Structure 1
Amino acid sequence: MSDMNGKTVFITGASRGIGRAIALACAREGANVVIAAKSDQPHPKLPGTIHSVAEEVEAAGGRALPLVLDVRDEAAVKARIDEAGRYFGGIDKLVNNAGAIRLQGVEKLPAKRYDLMHQVNARAVFVCSQAALPWLRESDEGHILSLSPPINLAPKWFAQHGAYTTTKYAMTMLTMGMAEEFRSDGIAVNALWPKTLIATAAIEFEVGGPELMKQGRTPAIMADAALAILKRPADMMSGQAVVDEDLLRETGITDFDAYRYDASSDKPLLPDFFLD
């Protein structure tokens, strides 16, 4: 496994939730962490900004660079990635974590909401990866990691929210394609997805509310799995879409109770989308 100390990790959507957890996990390993997100000012309902996470990263032992970024803006993506590369002297890892969700069928989903999901999910993987590629080629441990699921074509995953499903699957298909395209460059490209619901703001405000979060795990499990992937050599793992618990079991972890969001809840954990 490679050493993350001194490596530079660029994370989109890193001001809260899974992105923040990955940022802190990398920081504890001594990494340079670029916290790229739209959250420059405090939100009345959602905790965390790029600046508060930057402070946490520094406290955890890493170096931080908070950058305001809307991943829908192609020019801004390139400018911010190049800024980060110049600041830290390179970029070794790109984590495509930013995401948008709306669980509606085609009939009632506004087209502008579909456009948002496409831009923040699928298109951002394309734009961010393309912009980061010159920097990743210069690294001896280049890696692109996107938070998207193994592709499951069972009709039930399309029936009620086909638009969201197709944008998340597009992320994984881009992952598969880039893994082959960039293999000769020594750049690993993989996707990661949670086995169970993860208690984040997206779940609380877009999916099921605070009660549903009791049936989930904390973002820490995704962070630990992401770190395990990012530390693997490019020739050891590329072109895979893996599930957090399955990957961590391979590393020898067998006790997952510590990841439970509400340890006092007797409700069963809910499997995440796209997993049978």
Structure 2
Amino acid sequence: MGTASSQKLAGRTIVMSGGSRGIGLAILVAAAREGANVVFLAKTDQPDPRLPGTVHTAVAEIEAAGGKAVAVVGDVRNEEDVQRAVDTAVETFGGIDICVNNASALNLTGTEELPVKRFDLMQQINTRGTFVLSKACVPHLKRSDAGQILTLSPPISLAPRWLGPHPAYTLSKYGMTLLTLGFAAEFESDGIAANCLWPRTTIATAAVINLIPGAADASRSPEIMGDAAVAIFTGPRRSGECLIDDDVLAAAGVTDLSKYGAGPDFAPDLFVDPVS
């Protein structure tokens, strides 16, 4: 934790969907070390026996890292909840500089077996949630001198190996990416940058460890995504890009990734083709 004068995000305010655990929380903690103010919209008011952490433990962790945090209990599918989070950020911290679309639903079931209600859930949280939160933040991002949108979604590949196994999930994540690339073009003249960030490897969140046997040893820790996000927030302006976490860190001069775990035998994440 640096001094206030050396913190690169001092005075900056982030609004995020989700964030009570996993990658979202890692991003908020990394931003807090640089002095950021944080408002995040999440549902976990009470402990979940399957997953660690609530909005309350997340606030404590963010503030312990050096930032200021307010949790808004709500659902990104509910426009009123989203607006309440945005209004809270403006009323508490005076504006919004960064919007992070982090909330996401995952279901890798094939078309015949996937219930329609699960299809709807993924589109509502992933694609629609990205639209609703970004739309609510944009008027305030325009007033910032460094407005940014960051969406946790993948580069788009039309290769059958990515389109075929789980079209419904792929559609929802590609929808997040297409919206974000669209925002980059739509709001370029307003000074708002918009990018996507995705991990090279699977990430050792509780959800992934519960879902994939042996994932912990082959995955990097969520902190790599936190550090990559902060590098985007604080580095040279870029917009309209689909970025991979370790490429972002390499561009920032970070080449030793050993502290994030895994190693040369890491498990690649979905939508990321092997490096040739």
The TM-score, its normalising length taken from structure 1, stands at: 0.93
CA contact (8 A) 2:156 2:271 kept: yes
Confirm or deny that 1:140 pairs with 2:145: yes
- The residue matched to 1:145 in structure 2 has which SS? strand
Q: 2:218 aligns with which of 192, 215, 220?
A: 215
Number of the residue aligned with 2:253: 252
- The residue matched to 1:6 in structure 2 has which SS? coil
> What is the aligned residue count?
268
How many Å apart are 1:71 and its aligned residue?
0.4
Query: What's the CA shift string for 1:246-275, capped at 9, x where partnerless?
Result: 1111111111111016x8xxx820111011
Matches within 5 A, 1:183-202: 183-202=188-207
In structure 1, stretches of 5+ residues that fail to align are none
Query: What's the CA shift string for 1:137-157, capped at 9, x where partnerless?
Result: 111111000000111111011
How many Å apart are 1:36 and its aligned residue?
1.9
Number of the residue aligned with 2:265: 268
Confirm or deny that 1:91 pairs with 2:88: no
How many Å apart are 1:160 and its aligned residue?
1.4
- The residue matched to 2:105 in structure 1 has which SS? coil
Whole-angstrom CA distance in 2 between matches of 1:69 and 1:143: 23
CA contact (8 A) 1:35 1:54 kept: no
Number of the residue aligned with 1:128: 133
Whole-angstrom CA distance in 2 between matches of 1:104 and 1:201: 20
Query: What's the CA shift string for 1:177-210, capped at 9, x where partnerless?
Result: 11010001100000000001101123123x414x
Whole-angstrom CA distance in 2 between matches of 1:74 and 1:31: 25
Number of the residue aligned with 1:33: 38
CA contact (8 A) 1:137 1:185 kept: yes
Query: What's the CA shift string for 1:122-180, capped at 9, x where partnerless?
Result: 11110000011111111111100000011111101121111101110111111111101
Q: Which 4+ residue blocks in structure 1 deviate beyond 6 angstroms?
A: none
Amino acid at match of 2:227: D
- The residue matched to 2:76 in structure 1 has which SS? coil
Whole-angstrom CA distance in 2 between matches of 1:76 and 1:60: 26
Query: What's the CA shift string for 1:36-83, capped at 9, x where partnerless?
Result: 211111111211111111111111111111111200111221122112
Query: 186-195 or 52-61: which moved more?
Result: 52-61
Percent identical pairs in the alignment equals 52
- The residue matched to 1:214 in structure 2 has which SS? helix
Number of the residue aligned with 2:234: 231
Confirm or deny that 1:48 pairs with 2:53: yes
Number of the residue aligned with 2:3: none
- The residue matched to 1:42 in structure 2 has which SS? coil
How many Å apart are 1:220 and its aligned residue?
0.3
Confirm or deny that 1:159 pairs with 2:156: no
Amino acid at match of 2:158: L
Amino acid at match of 2:261: R
CA contact (8 A) 2:41 2:82 kept: no
Number of the residue aligned with 1:180: 185
How many Å apart are 1:94 and its aligned residue?
0.7
Whole-angstrom CA distance in 1 between matches of 2:140 and 2:207: 31
Confirm or deny that 1:108 pairs with 2:105: no
- The residue matched to 1:166 in structure 2 has which SS? helix
Whole-angstrom CA distance in 2 between matches of 1:157 and 1:213: 23
Amino acid at match of 1:219: P
- The residue matched to 1:135 in structure 2 has which SS? helix
Whole-angstrom CA distance in 1 between matches of 2:207 and 2:158: 24
Number of the residue aligned with 1:12: 17
Whole-angstrom CA distance in 2 between matches of 1:201 and 1:163: 23
Number of the residue aligned with 2:244: 243
- The residue matched to 2:196 in structure 1 has which SS? strand
Q: 1:79 aligns with which of 73, 79, 84?
A: 84
CA contact (8 A) 1:200 1:219 kept: yes
In structure 2, stretches of 5+ residues that fail to align are 1-6
Give the aligned CA root-mean-square deviation in angstroms: 1.6
